[in-house]
Structure 1
Amino acid sequence: MRLEKATFAGGCFWCMVKPFDQFDGIEKVVSGYTGGHVENPSYEDVKSGTSGHREAVQITFNPEVFSYDQLLEIYWQQVDPTDDEGQFQDRGESYRATIFYHNEDQRVKAEQSKQKLAESGRFKKPVITPIEPASEFYDAEEYHQDFYKKDPDAYKEDRSQSGRDEFIDAHWNHK
């Protein structure tokens, strides 16, 4: 079995695990930090905005069971791809939506899916989510892993306050 990795930043990583963590072919989803210049950053380093990292999830998947294209489809439905200042209630560079590609095939597929989304007319503003090469990924602290399972009440509260679900419903017609 050949496994691949996909790395996506979409605001608070707590909200980015569950959407991917429920499908056959997804081996694991890890919350962490990527794209910065500090080695082994802590949550405090990233949240302060001084490390240059983004909160992200790294997904290990079997592309023969669940494709990268399917991951991209889920990803776009979790973020506001028109917001360059963060995501929903979480503001700042560490919360900017970004696709981090691990190979040329992922880069091409990400660019194509972004172009398709931009041309869809789904959003009034331009789709500006950057697509960047993957860099070192650092696992977040253990208490951040699978947060939606560990503390479902806090997860639901944080998610309900974020405005994410209202945005998703308004743009993707999930009822």
Structure 2
Amino acid sequence: MKKKQRATFAGGCFWCMVKPFDQWNGVDSVISGYTGGHTENPTYEEVKQGKTGHYEAVEIIYDPNVLSYETILNIYWQQIDPTDDGGQFHDRGDSYRTAIFYHNENQKIAAESSKLHLEESGKFSNPIVTQILPATAFYPAEAYHQNFYRKNTAAYEEDRAKSGRDAFINQVWRS
């Protein structure tokens, strides 16, 4: 039996990245936070202002006996526009870029393979710019960001709707 593992992804606003993973059997938790930067224990305001080099990201704790990393990668790709290197949807700036942060060599290989598969699929005419990077320190975001979609349902749904994320997902992945 494999022990619990971590998967870390940046996909724009972390509020919008929690629910798609949180609903799967085998996922123990999805934590909103910051990774990939140069400042220890950054705050939301510091990250948002671009002072720390961090991405908004989610760290997923999951049971690989129930849910494979490859499945998690497929879920991830279907939440983002992997061709946008300036942010995601209405969230612009470096902290909103996309990236897969691998925790071991197997995750790196799987991430690279899934990215290549997506590139070869012809689904996108522009290049896939999502980076695949080694995981670094992950700092959980402030408490009010955690499980935002559950605690602030109306604000969450309004933000998703006006962001353009759902329209993109429906057009590209559901058609």
Instruction: Calculate the TM-score normalised by the size of structure 1.
Output: 0.98
Give the Cα separation in 2 of the matches to 1:10 and 1:134. Answer: 15
Counterpart residue type for residue 116 of structure 2: Q
Match of 1:49 in 2: 50
Give the Cα separation in 2 of the matches to 1:28 and 1:19. Answer: 12
Counterpart residue type for residue 90 of structure 1: D
Give the Cα separation in 1 of the matches to 2:173 and 2:23. Answer: 19
Unaligned runs of 5+ in 1: none
Counterpart residue type for residue 76 of structure 1: W
Give the Cα separation in 2 of the matches to 1:148 and 1:173. Answer: 22
Give the Cα separation in 2 of the matches to 1:50 and 1:121. Answer: 36
Secondary structure in 1 aligned to 2:22? coil
- Between the two proteins, the alignment pairs up a number of residues equal to 174
Pairing of 1:24-63 with structure 2 (within 5 A) = 24-63=25-64
Unaligned runs of 5+ in 2: none
Match of 1:156 in 2: 157
Match of 1:143 in 2: 144
Secondary structure in 2 aligned to 1:80? coil
For residue 58 of structure 1, report the CA deviation from its aligned partner. 0.0
Secondary structure in 1 aligned to 2:114? helix
Pairing of 1:96-107 with structure 2 (within 5 A) = 96-107=97-108
Give the Cα separation in 2 of the matches to 1:23 and 1:15. Answer: 15
For residue 128 of structure 1, report the CA deviation from its aligned partner. 1.2
Counterpart residue type for residue 173 of structure 1: R
Give the Cα separation in 2 of the matches to 1:141 and 1:163. Answer: 25
Secondary structure in 1 aligned to 2:110? helix
For residue 173 of structure 1, report the CA deviation from its aligned partner. 1.6
For residue 21 of structure 1, report the CA deviation from its aligned partner. 0.2
Moved over 2 A (4+): none
Secondary structure in 2 aligned to 1:78? coil
Quote the RMSD (CA, aligned, Å).
0.7
For residue 13 of structure 1, report the CA deviation from its aligned partner. 0.1
Counterpart residue type for residue 134 of structure 1: A
Q: Deviations over 1:38-62 (max 9, x none)?
A: 0000000100001000000000000
Instruction: Calculate the TM-score normalised by the size of structure 2.
Output: 0.98
Match of 2:113 in 1: 112
Secondary structure in 2 aligned to 1:148? helix
For residue 74 of structure 1, report the CA deviation from its aligned partner. 0.2
Secondary structure in 2 aligned to 1:19? helix
Counterpart residue type for residue 135 of structure 1: T
Counterpart residue type for residue 4 of structure 2: L
Give the Cα separation in 2 of the matches to 1:93 and 1:80. Answer: 15
Q: Deviations over 1:127-165 (max 9, x none)?
A: 110000000000000000000000000000000010001
Match of 2:166 in 1: 165
Give the Cα separation in 1 of the matches to 2:114 and 2:24. Answer: 20
Match of 1:89 in 2: 90
Q: Deviations over 1:72-91 (max 9, x none)?
A: 00000000000000000000
